[in-house]
Structure 1
Amino acid sequence: MNFDAGTGNGYNCLRRQTNNLASDAIKGHSVGSERSHVDYQSDLRAAPVRPRLNRLIHQIPLVFVAVFAVVGVLLGSCLPDGALFRFWLPALAFTSLAFWLAKSKHSKNWLLAAAICLPLFMARQANFATDYYSGTILSAASEIPQPAILRVQVDRPVVLRRNPLAEIPSRRVLSPWQTQFEARVTELRSGQRYVEASGRVLVVVEGKLTSFRPGDALELYGSLRAFPSPTNPGERDLRPIYQRRQLHARVDVDSPDQIVVIQTPNNLRTTLSPNRWVASFADTSRSLLLQHTTETTGPLAIALVIGQRDFVDSDTRDLLLVTGTAHLLSVSGLHLAIIVMLAKLAAMLVRLPQSLEIGWILSVCVAYVAITGGRPPVMRAALLVAALLIAIWLQRPSQPINTLALAALVLIYWNPMNVSAVGVQLSFLAVATLLLCGRRLRRSSSAPAIDQALEKEERLNQLADSSRTPIVRYGRVGIGMLAQMTWMSACVTATSIPLVWYHFHVVSPISVATNVLLSPLLVFALASGVGTVFLGLISSTLGGMCGTVCSAFLWLMQQIISLAASVPYGHAWLPSPNWYWVAFFYIALAASLYWRQSHRVKWLRRSWIVVWGCIAWWTATTPAELPTGTMEATFIDVGHGTCVVLRLGDESWLYDCGRLGNDTGSSRDIDETLWSLGITELDGVFLSHADSDHYNALPGIVKRFAIREIITPPGMLAENEKGALNAVRTAIAETRIRVREASAGQTLDAGKLPIRILHPPLGGVGGNDNANSLVLSIAKGALLLPGDLEPPGTQSLINQPRPAPGGVLMAPHHGSLTMNAEAVLQWARPRETVVSGGRRARRPEVAQMLATTGSGVHVTATEGAVRVRIDAQGQIEIRTWKQAPW
């Protein structure tokens, strides 16, 4: 069903042309002599590299041009900004063009392409970066949110999503909706006056606002902040993603009342703007899909039809990711192919002539690209469709690989940062794989006569099939289609695994089967979803009927995805391989396509995929060894919360895992830090006490890491405790992790380093959960972890023998100014104190309070993750992620 994959005839033609060219080249070496096919194959094997390269350049010139364009963008991103790259490089490009046009021969066409593309796309990248950094809103925004008043103009359709926190009982006062839109800044309030400003912002409003359209002028009262830089090892830097979307900052608005409409466009040109019509249609489509589908399938229908994935909850996104089916509900070329198929069917029903049919399909493609937000995968598919239709109209041959390269050139010039976008990379990789592997079911030859013999054999097989019964004939066709779909899915999975693994930390072999099962269902789900929108505009009854069909197919897809996600060993969460190892995989794979295709090359290519995977798994899951006797503690920046990764010899432990406001149970920051250390299993997790900001990420962690045991203070997980612990109890029960209770006086051996429990006593102390926090002393007091300890637990702790001075202390209760800090500091006498806290921990008073005994103070909220290493001699090394990343 994939339009991009349906190019087998074009490839057969291309292959025959290539074979003819090769045959002619061989004949040119022996004019007037008759050569056998064996001689031709021998000559091909012995052909020097340069003629083969010249033939490839002649056959797929745009591929080489696209490669030079990518190299130009990468080089341009490494060079400093300036007028040199805005003016002189384009001039150099055209000068080079004139030079090579005057002197080049056919064999130097690749030099001509390099001379043009390299400087041209370097200049395009430099111009793009210069335009972005010229936005004045960048200097006004910082990573710490600041109150701001802005005047903006909406320039993208509004996106509506469900507020994930509104479903939590303690957050029912929140609006069940959240609105997002992009806008261009025109003015910024400075004191009592407005000053002119430039740049674009992402506006997030707590509430439902669907009346805004591109062109509306608004005044916003909210919090302005820059997109944050990574603060933990392994954390993905999201700033390039926003830069690719030309977004400079984010504005958070607490309620719709804090937005004032200054002006609604009243001129005819703006009122009839295609952007406003597209936004109105997208809003109407969203409402119809929500109205005519169920509560569980509605978000999937919106993502499927109009490309707004924000409705899909995080749990469903994880299921799609681990089953390798995220692309099915992310608008892409496959969806456009289905839309084109429906448009083609409609044109056939009304019997449109060819020219009108081509115009109709092109119009549908343009409309679908606009409605879905102009995403690169859809634009790539639209360009392929347009090129093919224009070739049909002009009666000219079309080479799919060249057309794909043309689409790449257009997308790169439109936005040079598409080169580094993982979605764009996966889209082009999948299509290129389908194009190259779509003909692998047939045997290949290197002589036209053999191709003719194969075609005759196929015709004989077709004649034999015509004499069989319909059941046998259709059964053979069905089995053949299933085999081809399985082969295609396996090829795409094999080539995309390194890229998906590197960016998303997951390897999903089960995706081969799930994609084969879900692709036919996707056709009916999308077709009925489109029918829900268009027929819903005419009749609510017809729209409801289509919506029911769409919901049924989406429900079936959900069940298959859930079942696939539960298959043992169907997927694995793993640390990412090194980027250069991933790049080497694709370089070697591309190089293998250059050589003549033979069984040996095919087996070498398949063996390379397996060998690469084994080496990548071994290197990614092997943590860097610590020196003998050295312990390491990494305090992750989780905001107001606590999570400490302990590496004790060859063992890995966690002390707490949660943060304030993490009601959805996300563990992303912790997961990425563990993966960056090469950790796939934990010897144990200490939960200090029953405050949610110390344990609420555990359900997410147990999904991705093997945990041997969980250690808690006495009674923490008792059934009569807080209801917020239900998710933790459920996660522990489902994974059957052993739970142990620990109290003062017990000692554990972890990696040959003693962990002594200092608090609480077996019977506990008076007071709340904080007072009974689990306090650990590691390596005889070299590292002290007291949780949220507060009186009367503080008095119980300091009555115990004092540890040796000069160690590292985690500040109790996130460095709270209300705790009895002086007593703990005088008792512990640390050399360094680490504060795991959020916004309140940034205050200068916190550092002053903790430094009263001369201790150095490190706050995760300002310095990012803090890594502490203590060697066998007690020497302490501290590094912070923002100042000295490791």
Structure 2
Amino acid sequence: MRYCQAYPFSIVPPLDRFKLASRKASPAYTERTIYRPLVLLAPAITLGVITDAVFNFSMVVWLVAFVILIACWGLLWCQQRERIASGTLLFAVLVLGGMLHHVHWNLYRSTELSRGLSADKQPVALQGMVLDYPRFLPARPPGSAFEFEQPNQWKVPFRIRQIRNGATWEAASGDTEIYVSGDELDVRPGQSILVFAQATCSEGALNPGEFDFANWARANRRRTFLRSGFPECLKSTGMTPQRSPWDPIRLSRQYVSRVLVAAIPPGLDGLAETIFLGRRERLADETDEAFRQTGTVHLLALSGLHLGILAIFAYWLLRFLPGPVWLPAVCLLLMTVAYVVLVDARPPIVRASILVGAFCVGMILYRRHMFWNSLAAAWILVICWSPTEIFQAGTQLSFIAVASLAWLSGFQAMIKKPDPLKDLIEQTRPWPVKCWRRVVRGFGSMFVASLIVWLVTLPLVLFHFHAASPWTIVLSPILIIPMSIALAGTLMLLVASLAMPMLTPYISWVVSVPLWGMQETVTWTQQHAGFTLWSAGPPAWWVIGFYAVAATVGWLMITHRVPVRWSTAVVAAWLTVGFVWGTTQAIESNTRDDLVCTFVSVGHGTCVLVELPEGRNLLYDCGRLGSPKRACESLSAVLWSKGIQHLDAVIISHDDADHYNGLPEVLERFSVGAVYCSELMEKIPSDLVSSLLDDIRRRGIPLRSLSAGRSLSAHPDVEVTILHPTRKGVLGRDNANSLVLLIEYQGRRILLPGDLESPGTESVIVERPIDCDVVMAPHHGSRHSHADSFYQWCQPEWIVVSSGSRDILGPVIAKPGEPVWLNTAASGRIEIRLSADGGPPKVTSWRESHRRR
């Protein structure tokens, strides 16, 4: 009956017994048993979530499995078969995790508005309730000449209740956010409003490796997106605003935001809101980008580090309160809960709050809490709150970073050997020397911790973001000091604004100065010593294996079960596996004998990647109408999914921004052998093209011109020929002088005409007809290009439209002899594969179900 003594208030037998050998002064070992049941429950429930995410079993299967396992557990426990009962209970927890994920991912109300929406905009009239104060999104100046200026906007949290169908109102549901263009907006929480907006349901990824907005919205259970062009589109219904228990929290959040905006100088108020409230709406784009490129963006993401700094500062002050010993711990616990609610209970904050809460409870009960059990409890709570959070990069990095720091602390304590002589010498030193040595040791420990966290999280960072900066090792320990001062000053500022408002102008300097120091340090580093490593990143199987190996080796090292040298050898062996895999992939790419032409889905724009035999790569255009960053990200996702990090040549078809505005960022991320454009484009460039060409020359990339009749020596079996324009070109717009590229391999042809239109079209079709297998629709399939004569001239079997509109397609049912139409807006990435045997082209799309014949 020893289990009943260990768990006097529970009928559940222990799930975990770790036996650790603690070394005493004598060589003998004393064995003690430490119970950490949550350390086993956490991976069990996680495995259940992953199982449902992969296989998507029905709810009936999960329920039946759960009932059977619970019944088996009860029977086994009654028979006192405790070990088997514990294993059965673990499987029941696994099934519970699958049920939680299934409910969160699949079960919606029948009135959910997003069930009837698509990615196409649809005008709607809705009635519902405002959930929180609207957030102002100030217009941000374009980051470059290739971007458009956006208007001021408001983001309004909104709960849908009714939708108008003709003249009647029908029940609808769903929580969402309304983006309203305008300078002023007067709505308040609990207010019932009528909304006229364009509604969409976020679509999935259109390219492999691209961020899936549809999955992200579904994971947050906010699949409906509403956008209104004017503040007048939101009207009050005249009903009395509803009260909510959350109103004090919303009012407090709004008050904190107003205090920070009023007290902190413009340009720094956004940074103050970011690190204290986790709101990045006011943060300047250039500041956000500087933190990203220097690898210190984790300081902007509200996490356990911020809560830890505030908790340490608050506890240091609370110690001076008169009263019992447990009073500071109780006050800190209440403050922690209040702060978690204030910042919307983000998963990293929830994790940190549980650790702080466990510390406080231990202080109150005079008990020492177990860190790993508390960390497992935080992970389980995050899963119960939102099962899909464990797939988010921020949540994964937060928990891994904390686990790494905890392991480092335990490892240092294990290898540290007390030396009485050194301690005695240290006590005899003068106090300035003592202080200096403590500061040096403190910074040294922080740099070591920063290095360990960077190394441990590097595979996951490269897998999710494909970029890393070694500057984070140096900057993180340095920037923690001003950030700590700023957070403590913010807390003092809020207290002073309530108790002594006359002191807020003076305390605001305690916040503003360190924030200015952080911003200037990061910006200077980015501008004068920027160093970002861009990489395709390791495959998912290797990342999972790395952390499994690291966790196992770390546990074995900390428990003295394996020597450090053997642990290092195991980790090195797994790194070697990754290196061998990458080398094998590179060899396979260099020995490939087929030609692959990939039309990347970038919206209204063009981006075509041509993978030549034996590993050479050619890019034809990279741009889109609107955000150039989106074009670069879409191309980058495709390149990284293929393991490509170098482009041998880039061809710019003509002087239209939606064909080249993504190139500046592409040049930042990938190495480029040479850039080609037409002679007309180089001799008579527009302002935007001049800026781009200057950037290319500044990077030392060769810039060469092309004209009709020339060809590129890409591969002995591949002919890349320029059909248009001539050196003098033709009269008309830039579109008429687009570079027309003909690619021929083993008798098969692909034609890329850019935005070719009249009179350039006539200049091309007067030449001898060329029978092509695949043709990109000129000018994104626009009817103004008058491409019928062009198609008759080249007789394509496949026509690919690179567009942002799904409506541009050929006939629904193609007649014999007519070409098959594909559209990147509907089908996503389209890939044409020409084999070395000269067989018919193999055409595949990212969304096969959208292919129309």
Query: Considering the TM-score relative to the shorter chain, is it more than 0.5?
Result: yes
Residues 1:106 and 1:139: Cα distance change in structure 2 (over 3 Å)? closer
Residues 1:399 and 1:726: Cα distance change in structure 2 (over 3 Å)? farther
Larger displacement relative to structure 2 (134-143 or 186-195): 134-143
- Aligned with 1:370 (options 341, 348, 356): 341
Matched, 1:304 2:275: yes
Question: Which protein has greater RCO, CA pairs closer than 8 Å, 6+ apart?
Answer: 1
- State the Cα distance separating 1:533 from its structure 2 match: 4.5
- Aligned with 2:761 (options 770, 780, 794): 794
- State the Cα distance separating 1:639 from its structure 2 match: 0.9
SS at match of 1:222: strand
For residues 302-701 of structure 1, the aligned pairs below 5 Å read 302-351=273-322, 353-444=324-415, 454-455=417-418, 457=419, 459-536=420-497, 542-565=503-526, 570-595=531-556, 596-604=561-569, 607-608=572-573, 610-611=575-576, 614-615=579-580, 618=583, 624=589, 627-628=592-593, 630-649=594-613, 650-662=615-627, 667-701=632-666
- In structure 1, the partner of 2:199 is 224
TM-score, structure 1 as length reference: 0.86
SS at match of 2:679: coil
The letter for the 2-side match of 1:600 is: R
Matched, 1:875 2:850: no
Contact 1:825 1:853 (8 Å CA) reproduced: no
- In structure 2, the partner of 1:833 is 799
For residues 465-521 of structure 1, give each alpha carbon's deviation from its aligned partner in whole angstroms, at most 9, with x where no partner exists. 110122322222122212211221122112111111111112333322221222222
Residues 1:18 and 1:578: Cα distance change in structure 2 (over 3 Å)? closer
- In structure 2, the partner of 1:180 is 155
For residues 344-395 of structure 1, give each alpha carbon's deviation from its aligned partner in whole angstroms, at most 9, with x where no partner exists. 2332354454343223212221221122121000011111111110111011
Residues 1:173 and 1:488: Cα distance change in structure 2 (over 3 Å)? closer
SS at match of 1:779: strand
Distance in 2, matches of 1:580 and 1:169, equals 41
* Aligned Cα root-mean-square deviation (Å): 3.3
- State the Cα distance separating 1:636 from its structure 2 match: 0.9
The letter for the 2-side match of 1:297 is: L
Distance in 2, matches of 1:180 and 1:259, equals 12
For residues 239-280 of structure 1, give each alpha carbon's deviation from its aligned partner in whole angstroms, at most 9, with x where no partner exists. 33222322122112222211122356546x53xx33x23323
Contact 1:489 1:516 (8 Å CA) reproduced: yes
Identity of matched residues, %:
27
Larger displacement relative to structure 2 (323-332 or 357-366): 357-366
For residues 154-181 of structure 1, give each alpha carbon's deviation from its aligned partner in whole angstroms, at most 9, with x where no partner exists. 3355333234477889999853x22224
SS at match of 1:644: strand
SS at match of 1:77: helix
Distance in 2, matches of 1:691 and 1:744, equals 20
- In structure 1, the partner of 2:7 is none
Matched, 1:140 2:101: no
For residues 253-264 of structure 1, the aligned pairs below 5 Å read 253-262=228-237
- In structure 2, the partner of 1:765 is 730
The letter for the 2-side match of 1:471 is: P
- In structure 2, the partner of 1:31 is none
Contact 1:154 1:184 (8 Å CA) reproduced: yes
TM-score, structure 2 as length reference: 0.89
- In structure 2, the partner of 1:240 is 215
Residues 1:484 and 1:518: Cα distance change in structure 2 (over 3 Å)? same
Matched, 1:722 2:686: yes
For residues 775-810 of structure 1, give each alpha carbon's deviation from its aligned partner in whole angstroms, at most 9, with x where no partner exists. 11112781111111111111111122322x142111
- State the Cα distance separating 1:645 from its structure 2 match: 0.6
The letter for the 2-side match of 1:807 is: D
- Aligned with 2:37 (options 44, 61, 65): 61
Contact 2:77 2:85 (8 Å CA) reproduced: no
For residues 55-94 of structure 1, the aligned pairs below 5 Å read 58-78=34-54, 80=56, 82=58, 84=60, 87-92=63-68, 94=70
The letter for the 2-side match of 1:705 is: F
- State the Cα distance separating 1:554 from its structure 2 match: 2.6
For residues 207-218 of structure 1, the aligned pairs below 5 Å read 207-208=182-183, 211-218=186-193
- State the Cα distance separating 1:583 from its structure 2 match: 0.7
Distance in 2, matches of 1:848 and 1:20, equals 70
Matched residue count:
826
For residues 854-877 of structure 1, give each alpha carbon's deviation from its aligned partner in whole angstroms, at most 9, with x where no partner exists. 222111111111111223426211
- In structure 2, the partner of 1:287 is 258
Distance in 2, matches of 1:710 and 1:411, equals 49
SS at match of 2:357: helix
SS at match of 1:830: coil
Larger displacement relative to structure 2 (127-136 or 325-334): 127-136
Contact 2:799 2:820 (8 Å CA) reproduced: yes
The letter for the 2-side match of 1:689 is: H
Residues 1:847 and 1:693: Cα distance change in structure 2 (over 3 Å)? farther
Residues 1:395 and 1:198: Cα distance change in structure 2 (over 3 Å)? same
Contact 2:111 2:171 (8 Å CA) reproduced: no
Contact 1:153 1:215 (8 Å CA) reproduced: yes
The letter for the 1-side match of 2:124 is: A
Contact 1:782 1:874 (8 Å CA) reproduced: no
The letter for the 2-side match of 1:760 is: P
Contact 2:253 2:342 (8 Å CA) reproduced: yes
Distance in 2, matches of 1:615 and 1:490, equals 25
Residues 1:139 and 1:764: Cα distance change in structure 2 (over 3 Å)? same
Residues 1:553 and 1:807: Cα distance change in structure 2 (over 3 Å)? same
Matched, 1:250 2:220: no
- State the Cα distance separating 1:132 from its structure 2 match: 3.7
- In structure 2, the partner of 1:448 is none
Contact 1:665 1:698 (8 Å CA) reproduced: no
For residues 280-322 of structure 1, give each alpha carbon's deviation from its aligned partner in whole angstroms, at most 9, with x where no partner exists. 3333333333344344333222211110123335554444334
Distance in 2, matches of 1:687 and 1:485, equals 48
Contact 1:85 1:127 (8 Å CA) reproduced: no
- State the Cα distance separating 1:552 from its structure 2 match: 3.0
The letter for the 2-side match of 1:788 is: D
Larger displacement relative to structure 2 (150-159 or 518-527): 150-159
The letter for the 1-side match of 2:273 is: I
- Aligned with 2:828 (options 864, 867, 878): 864
SS at match of 1:763: coil
Distance in 1, matches of 2:145 and 2:448, equals 48
- State the Cα distance separating 1:209 from its structure 2 match: 6.0
- State the Cα distance separating 1:97 from its structure 2 match: 4.3
- State the Cα distance separating 1:126 from its structure 2 match: 2.8
Contact 1:634 1:645 (8 Å CA) reproduced: yes
- State the Cα distance separating 1:106 from its structure 2 match: 6.1
Residues 1:734 and 1:312: Cα distance change in structure 2 (over 3 Å)? farther
For residues 579-599 of structure 1, give each alpha carbon's deviation from its aligned partner in whole angstroms, at most 9, with x where no partner exists. 111111111112223431523
- State the Cα distance separating 1:561 from its structure 2 match: 2.7
The letter for the 2-side match of 1:825 is: Y
Distance in 2, matches of 1:333 and 1:126, equals 29
Tell me, which stretches of 5 or more residues in structure 1 are unaligned? 1-16, 25-34, 45-51, 445-450
Distance in 1, matches of 2:227 and 2:640, equals 31
- State the Cα distance separating 1:740 from its structure 2 match: 1.2
Distance in 1, matches of 2:330 and 2:40, equals 31
Distance in 2, matches of 1:169 and 1:648, equals 33
The letter for the 2-side match of 1:383 is: I
The letter for the 2-side match of 1:145 is: K
Residues 1:576 and 1:622: Cα distance change in structure 2 (over 3 Å)? farther
The letter for the 2-side match of 1:809 is: V
Matched, 1:111 2:111: no
Distance in 2, matches of 1:465 and 1:492, equals 30
SS at match of 2:848: coil
